[in-house]
A and B are shown apart, each in its own frame.
Chain A
Amino acid sequence: MSPLSRERLLVGLAPERLGAVRLGFWRRRQHLGEQALALAPPAAGAPWASGIETLELLLDDPAWRSRTLSVALSSHYVRYAVLPRGRHLALPEQTELAQVVFRKLFGELASDWECRISPGDGETTVASAVPTALLDALRAACQGRVTLHSVQPGLMSIFNRVRAGIGRHDGTLAVVEAGRITLAALAAGAWQTVTSRAWEPEALPALLAELGELSARPAGGRLWLCDLSGRAAAPAAPAWQVERLFAGQRAGLLSWGLA
């Protein structure tokens, strides 16, 4: 491949599926291909082992060879926390603080997670934690094959793609995938909570109701729904005004908003 090539591969990595979109940039953005690869659950080892193996095969396929790779990670692999933004703390100190919060929430499990905290400008901000072993496996898979340009939680890629439409409205962003629902509550332009549960897509209305009760908030409001599973049940109107994200945009769904 020419060193001047600007072809990019965008991948959404989840336990049951690897979605891939290949883009070219010759004068304008070109859509060169997309595919959804079903992954078998690994018999043993890390839960992401099948995904990494499939990614390696994809990167070795001449038809999918690209200059750079960006990966969006399923919420199965990411933990989230909303923290007050430390105005007088530098980013490394804030990251350290996030590490402490994750250890408190998840105990010894969090000792092998790599944390990031978003440098936002609101009252609160979002922190994420990803297993170091997964990041190492991704970097090793790219070695000699492609430049790993970005690895980001799926919530980040989706939110950044749709945040202009969200504006500073109050509401809930729902990312629904097979076997997991992630809900982010937003109010007055600030992050309130991010909750991720191992629930099936059909249980979205029940989870919304439960979280409403727990937070003593009236059920309803705006719901920005990103249904990656194709099976999400929408909560009942008129309490909820549902806006489906990436409706009819297969590439956007396969790459978790990266494309």
Chain B
Amino acid sequence: MADMAALHLDYQRPPPGRQLPGIVLLAASLALCAALLQQSAGLARDTEIAEARLAEVRRAAAAARQSAASPAPAPPASASAARWEALFVALEGAADETVTLLALAPGERETVLTGEARDLPAALDYAQRLQAAPAFAGAHLAKYEVVREHPRQPVRFTVLAGGRESPP
């Protein structure tokens, strides 16, 4: 047979049963804090990656502009500028939110574009859109790989374009 229940007439501490909601609330708050900290660490990591990619794009754009601005040996300056203009217009026309251009390396015979797409279909669509522009005639997806270390696993790709309207 069980003993009589303990008396609880304390003037400083709540009865044992009334401590439980406080303990549960504390545990829930700690769990929420841990989840928020984890999420915040993930966001910081994403921000770092995005900033690094942005810097790469800026560097690529600056390099492209610099080479466009430098005096070209062969064609006259006005013709060169017009070609670059056509190139940028074509790039802008093909761009959308699924693709980020990382580098643009114009060569004598062909132009090499490096970028990152949300997934492989997005990369293929991009190559197709470029193909439609005269400045990138013959553009095709030459290489791609999935970036597995990134949480969203984007596709890094290389497009080769060459032919009639190759850059200066």
Contacts and interface: CB of A to CB of B under 8 A. Distances in A.
B79 interface: no
B13 A150 contact: yes
A160 interface: yes
A91 B15 contact: yes
Contacts of A148: 12
B18 A91 contact: yes
A91 B17 CA distance: 10
A107 to B, nearest CB: 22
B4 interface: yes
B4 A163 contact: yes
B8 to A, nearest CB: 5
Interface in B1-30: 1-13, 15, 17-18
Contacts of B11: 114, 116, 130, 135, 151-152
Contact of A156 (B10, B12, B17): B10
B13 A149 contact: yes
Interface in A120-147: 120-122, 126-128, 130, 135
A166 B4 contact: yes
Given A167-B3, A168-B3, A150 B8 contact: no
A199 interface: no
A179 interface: no
Contacts of A189: 1, 3-4
Contacts of A118: 5, 7-9, 15
B12 A149 contact: yes
Interface residues of B, number: 16
A153 interface: yes
B5 A122 contact: yes
Contacts of A23: none
A122 B4 CA distance: 8
B15 A160 contact: no
A114 B9 CA distance: 11
Nearest to B14: A91
Contacts of B15: 91, 118-119
A167 B1 contact: yes
A164 interface: yes
A120 B12 contact: no
Given A91-B15, A91-B18, A119 B3 contact: no
Nearest to B13: A150
A240 interface: no
Given A148-B12, A151-B12, A156 B7 contact: yes
Nearest to A158: B7
A166 B9 CA distance: 19
Nearest to B8: A118
Q: Which of B1, B3, B10, B11 has the most CB of A within 10 A?
A: B11
Contacts of A168: 1-4
A225 B111 CA distance: 102
A186 interface: yes
Nearest to B6: A160
A156 B9 contact: yes
8 contacts: A91-B18, A116-B9, A135-B11, A152-B9, A159-B7, A163-B3, A167-B1, A189-B1
Interface of B: 1-13, 15, 17-18
Name the 10 nearest CB pairs between A and B, nearest first.
Answer: A120-B5, A151-B11, A156-B7, A116-B9, A128-B9, A151-B12, A118-B7, A121-B5, A156-B9, A160-B6
Given A152-B12, A166-B3, A189-B1, 4 more contacts: A117-B9, A118-B7, A118-B15, A121-B5
